[in-house]
Amino acid sequence: MGKQHKIKNLFGYKSVSNLDTSTEEAESFNKVVLEDDIIPTPIDFEPDFAKSLSPKKNKWHKKMFNTHGDIPFANDYPAKCICLLVILGADNKTYYGTGFMISPRCVITAGHCLHFGGAWALQIKVFPGADGEAIPYGGDISTKYVSTNNWTVFKKPEHDYGAIILPSDKLFNEVKGYLGFHEVLQKGPILLGGYPISENFKQITLQGVSKEISENYITYDLPTVRGNSGSPVYIMHSNQIFAVGVHTYGGDPNHAVRVTAKVIGNWKNWINDQQAIV
């Protein structure tokens, strides 16, 4: 096991309980324009493991998530809360991406994993903690999603996020956990966990330092590839883990939609009112 990093209080926060959840739109400090419609990662087959939703381990799945680089985590957390998404698009093609649980039934991901090509996905299979062909916590299928009108109608990239609403607590009863979330105000160490296309459905965690914190984005230089869309950008603070961004696209630098007061307000609404679309 590698040396454990001791991360000091390098971050500035706003109290979640006192956050402004106003629905008014804020102007972006750094407007990003996407030339092409972005979509989840396409694949030309449905993985064999995705045909069953029952938990399935393999002989190699022995606390393989305990160590990510030099940072050890206990009880497979937060990796078990990070989900492989197998997405059936409106075009009847299969795509995949990443999501993460923030409540027993709410899985956050990129908006373009839910609504792309002008339509909602037909269904999404959710596999928390998947590792190759091992699905230690099983899976579930959802056809209920929420996002923002600024993404689904206007395709504003700073609003490229949404949620999958699971039909029951089935996965939570296996995983027994989910990620907290915070608004981060200062640059500092970050981690990103997800399912890059190059790793054959294995979860990979990247470590780095945020490059810029702007009104709507966190930027960073990490080797993300297709499949990472919807990955949580998260931090360690006071021995706890908090999602602070949703990875939406790579480039120079990479971008995550930043968890802000407005985002937190939406997420809390989606947790509490699963029919809400904002």
Q: Given 68, 103, 112, 237, which residue is catalytic?
A: 112
Round to whole Å and give the CA distance between 39 and 77: 28
Structural element, H or E, at residue 124: strand 123-128
229 given a catalytic annotation: yes
């680089």: which residue's tokens? 69
Structure-block tokens of residue 24: 């008014």
Round to whole Å and give the CA distance between 76 and 29: 37
Round to whole Å and give the CA distance between 127 and 141: 9
Provide the sign of the torsion angle of the four alpha carbons 61, 103, 239, 83, taken in this order: positive
Strands (DSSP E) contained in 185-227 are: 189-194, 204-213, 217-220
Cβ proximity of 194 and 227 under 8 Å: yes
Q: Given 103, 229, 247, 255, which residue is catalytic?
A: 229
CA distances from 25 to 66, 150, 216 (A): 40, 9, 11
112 given a catalytic annotation: yes
| β-strand partners of 42 | 95
Q: Which residues are annotated as catalytic? A: 112, 229
